[in-house]
């Protein structure tokens, strides 16, 4: 039996050398190349920030008050800016995330194709493209001119930046929830609010949370909107986020980077590394939370 089949010319299972095969090779090489191209600048940024910033990082650096620019690298720290960044970003999150999620729920679950929903969706998209410095100016003229510099004003500006990102990412997540799930809940006699809160939201929560945290991480690194709203230039912690000038890491990096003193520059690198670390931690938290919430979705 085996001999008979061996003699017969079998089907050709080897891919012939052909143009199709060459195209496949070229495409693969191009993809690897573009990946490398993307990773190079990212790697350089990370390596140079770590190389220049790691030497000054210590617990006292993260907590001490900001010294005068002429102080050597081993004196003082960035405590007030760390506190300011955490306070202001947290406040911006509290303002923008619930608003953005509710807005996206309206857009996807309630608005449908009506005029208001379309208008809001369009405005949110336009807001995504507004440069962050314009947001700063906006809050400056609307709030700071009347009530003065404060962490709250900075939170408003960052919130304005986060809002469209949160709306867009939440909207996309809600759209991914299959309508069969909604129908299943409706068929049991659930009201629209109930379907949204108990079926749609839990199904989309992982994606919504990670989208929101990405917006937070993005806002935490913004400089321009804060220049107009919290002023900066402090050396001590301002715990009161609602009044008085405040300081944040991006502003500190900005002023120290343009300083002629090597001590100030070193502290600037340290602040940059700290900011990246904060963003990194937020990303990890986002991943953990979305894994936690999608426990039942597979």
Footprint on this chain of other proteins (rule: CB under 8 A): 112, 178, 180-191, 194, 198-199, 202-203, 294-298
Residue 69 vs 294, nearer CB to other proteins:
294
Q: Which is nearer to other proteins, 198 or 235 (CB)?
A: 198
Q: Given the complex with other proteins, which of 131 and 178 has the nearer CB atom? A: 178
Give every CB contact of residue 26 below 8 A, 6+ residues apart in sequence.
Answer: none
Q: For residues 20 and 192, which CB has a smaller minimum distance to other proteins in the complex?
A: 192
Q: How far apart are CA 235 and CA 67, in angstroms?
A: 6
Residue closer to other proteins by CB (options 133, 181) is 181
Distance between CA atoms of residues 179 and 161, nearest Å: 31
Closest CA to 75 of 285, 271, 263: 263
Q: Quick one: 43 or 178, whose CB is closer to other proteins?
A: 178
Closest CB 181 distance from other proteins, rounded Å = 6
CB of 106 to other proteins, least distance (A): 17
Q: How far is the CB of 198 from other proteins (least distance, A)?
A: 7
- Within 10 A of 79 (CB to CB), how many other CB atoms are there? 19
Q: In terms of CB distance, is 59 or 296 closer to other proteins?
A: 296
CB of 190 to other proteins, least distance (A): 5
Q: What is the C-alpha separation between 175 and 204, in angstroms, rounded?
A: 9
Residue 99 or residue 185: which is nearer to other proteins going by CB? 185
CB of 192 to other proteins, least distance (A): 9
Q: How far is the CB of 208 from other proteins (least distance, A)?
A: 14
Cα–Cα distance for residue pair 193/200, rounded to 1 Å: 10
Q: How far is the CB of 113 from other proteins (least distance, A)?
A: 8
Structure tokens at 276: 């990246």
Segment 290-297 long-range contacts (CB within 8 Å, at least 24 positions apart): 290/205, 290/206, 290/207, 290/209, 290/210, 291/206, 292/206, 293/202, 293/205, 293/206, 293/209, 294/206, 296/202, 297/203, 297/206
Q: How far is the CB of 204 from other proteins (least distance, A)?
A: 10
Q: Cα–chain-centroid distance for residue 198?
A: 27
């Amino acid at each position: 039996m085996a001999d008979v089949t061996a003699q017969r010319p079998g089907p050709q299972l080897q891919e012939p050398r052909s143009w199709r095969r060459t195209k496949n090779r070229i495409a693969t090489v191009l993809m690897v190349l573009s990946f490398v191209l993307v990773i190079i600048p990212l790697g350089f940024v990370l390596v140079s920030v770590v190389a220049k910033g790691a030497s000054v990082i210590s617990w006292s650096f993260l907590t001490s008050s900001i010294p005068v620019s002429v102080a050597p690298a081993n004196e003082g720290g960035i405590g007030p800016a760390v506190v300011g960044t955490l306070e202001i970003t947290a406040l911006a999150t509290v303002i923008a995330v619930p608003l953005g999620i509710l807005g996206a729920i309206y857009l996807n679950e309630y608005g449908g194709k009506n005029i208001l929903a379309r208008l809001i969706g369009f405005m949110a998209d336009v807001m995504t493209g507004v440069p962050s410095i314009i947001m700063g100016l906006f809050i400056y003229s609307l709030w700071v001119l009347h009530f003065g510099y404060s962490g709250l004003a900075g939170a408003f500006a960052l919130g304005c930046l986060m809002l469209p990102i949160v709306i867009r990412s939440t909207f996309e997540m809600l759209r991914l929830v299959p309508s069969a799930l909604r129908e299943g809940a409706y068929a049991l006699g659930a009201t629209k609010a109930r379907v949204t809160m108990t079926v749609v939201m839990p199904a989309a929560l992982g994606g919504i949370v990670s989208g929101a945290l990405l917006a937070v991480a993005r806002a935490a690194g913004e400089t321009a909107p804060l220049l107009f709203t919290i002023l900066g230039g402090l050396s001590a912690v301002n715990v009161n986020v609602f009044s008085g000038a405040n300081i944040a890491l991006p502003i500190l990096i900005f002023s120290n980077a343009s300083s002629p003193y090597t001590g100030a520059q070193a502290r600037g690198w340290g602040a940059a590394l700290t900011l990246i670390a904060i963003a990194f931690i937020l990303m990890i938290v986002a991943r953990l939370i979305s894994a936690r919430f999608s426990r039942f979705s597979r």
